[in-house]
Amino acid sequence: MLVLGIESSCDETAAAVVEDGTRVLSSEVASQAAVHRPYGGVVPELACRNHVRAIVPVVRAALENAGLGDRAPDAVAATQGPGLVGALLVGFSFAKSYAHAKGIPWAGVNHLMGHIHAVFLAPDPPEFPFTALVASGGHTAVYTVVSHLETRCLGQTLDDAAGEAYDKVAKVLGLGYPGGQVIDTLARQGDPGKIPFPRIWLDRDAYDFSFSGIKTAVARHVARNPDTFREETADIAAGFQAAVVEVLAEKTVRAARETGTGRIVLVGGVAANSGLRAAVAARGERMGIRVWAPPVALCGDNAAMIAAAGYHRLAAGERDGLALDVFSKIPDKGVAGLGGRM
């Protein structure tokens, strides 16, 4: 089955064609990072306007670059939420219209289920069940993934997402937006022990996270050292990254051990982080837990992952009607999985 995937939940307009949830025939991503950079974060109104401008050319490029010949997509999948409502509506409405005009089925996809499905676009994917850490600019949560359609949330951030903390710290240090990659690169040149930042464990036995305190600790350090912090940017980046990575890695590995899945999948923009990948791999190896992470290009927002997740809903016979709406937040972590409709 050929699925046209569409993603517009935040500041990337993306379209992709994926065969049977595994083979990426094309994947186009139009990033709005340059638009939002002067503001140090995503401005929802600007995001919506730029999605409207980008959606048609991006979908056209995905269809052209897929090399479909005589074939055409059999179905459409689009991100339903969570995300910015106005931004979501652009891709979602386009997907409905396209499917309706072509007379093909379509399905709404939970963005986080999409992130998880990035791992199935790489060779040698994991078997079920596995423990997934989804860490991005908008979300940080640990799931037990039972099947392509069923997840259970074990814990999530109670305030900032991990990527959000990276972006806010980058802003404080004057490193631009988004900040994850630049801090990751700087951290490799710094000494993680020079400026010790706190590890926020919350309840040690729970799988919830909190990243607003570490962000504040960095801001306070910078405010106290206005004349010298620029000379120690690499050490600050290294100290901050070590604190974030230690908590993410420790809780994720413990989740895989305590739930008995024995497998870990790292996804979302922050899964591109070299320190996180290394820390989870090292801890996993010590405990006999195997670790997967998609190629870096598939960690951030893209539509191939949405097509892959949508494929499994469609292949299971699930169909969405044209009246389906987008949603901005997942209602309740305990009740709502990421699978079918919200």
Residue closer to ligand KG4 by CB (options 148, 277) is 277
Among 136, 144, 151, 273, binds Zn ion (CB under 5 A): 136
Task: Tell whether residue 138 is a contact of ligand KG4 (CB under 6 A).
Answer: yes
3-state secondary structure of 77: strand
CA–CA separation, 291 and 277 (whole Å) = 9
Q: In what order do the strands lie in the sheet with 263-267?
A: 151-156, 140-145, 130-135, 263-267, 290-292
Cα angle for residues 186, 303, 113 (degrees, 5° grid): 85
Q: What x-and-dash track marks residues 283-322 binding Zn ion by CB under 5 A?
A: ------------------x---------------------
Tallying the residues shown for the chain, one arrives at 342
CA–CA separation, 180 and 211 (whole Å) = 14
Residue closer to ligand KG4 by CB (options 22, 181) is 181
**Minimum distance from CB of 9 to Zn ion (Å)?**
7
Tokens linked to 218:
């960095």
Residue 118 DSSP class:
G
Q: What x-and-dash track marks residues 159-188 binding ligand KG4 by CB under 6 A?
A: ----x--xx----------xxxx--x----
For residue 298, the cross-strand partners are: none
Task: Tell whether residue 106 is a contact of ligand KG4 (CB under 6 A).
Answer: no
CA–CA separation, 140 and 142 (whole Å) = 7
Task: Tell whether residue 272 is a contact of ligand KG4 (CB under 6 A).
Answer: yes
The span of 32-40, 49-57, 135-143, 216-224 binding ligand KG4 (CB under 6 A) equals 135-143
Chain positions contacting ligand KG4, by CB under 6 A: 10, 136-138, 163, 166-167, 178-181, 184, 268-270, 272-273, 300-301
Chain positions contacting Zn ion, by CB under 5 A: 136, 301
